[in-house]
Amino acid sequence: NLFNQQYSQKQRKLQKAYRSKYASNLAHYESKPKPICNYDGFNDLIMYAKCYKGKFKDLISCIADECGKQGIKIKDNSGAKEKDIERAFYKAFYIYSFERDDGHKQLTDLLRCSLVFTEFEDLYKCFAVVKDLAKQKCKGGIIRCKDRFDPQNMPFGYRDLLINVNCPGSDQKGRPIVCEIQLHHKIFYEHKKISHGMYKQARLFDLKGHNIAYEY
């Protein structure tokens, strides 16, 4: 696996050290249940996500500005993006529907952003920035994380740190839009385009939270 080859013991030690130093409470957020977007229908969720994209864009700008002030180096910043509606529909009705009838409520990355780092130190410092700004601007602060840099093994190999927050201003009716801030490391991200083609094929074998493609 190319990703595992790139993830040397030296890099793993750096990851552990900087996670411990700058994100010592990350496990608290990893233990939280998957959040939901409490909208009655898929179309409503898509429409409201589009309406709040500007607010999410402002949040990402604040994160980037604060990182700049603290000397945290972001290699690449995608800015605020919307998930392709075709992929959103597929996940809602062909993956999440195995778990519940209203599978669209589990779409927590309709609004997303990718921040890429060269060093784990900057990546985990950025997590601390996101945590502080989320407390100020997002109802509930960080509501869930998945640190896929941390496990010894990952089924597909790709690793990143995924952070879910409620989009600022979207909770006025008690139905916030959950969005996703993705923190990537360049040793994985520079191969993402190649791997994504394989991933798009492998994800067709998702079944009830398990992917049988990883068994072969």
**82-123 pLDDT tens trace:** 999 999 998 898 888 777 788 999 999 999 999 999 999 999
Closest by CA to 16, choosing from 134, 121, 159, 153, is: 121
Higher pLDDT, 88 or 153: 88
Instruction: Report helix, strand or coil for 132.
Output: helix
pTM attached to this predicted model: 0.89
Q: Please provide residue 47's backbone torsions phi and psi, each rounded to the nearest 5 degrees.
A: -65, -45
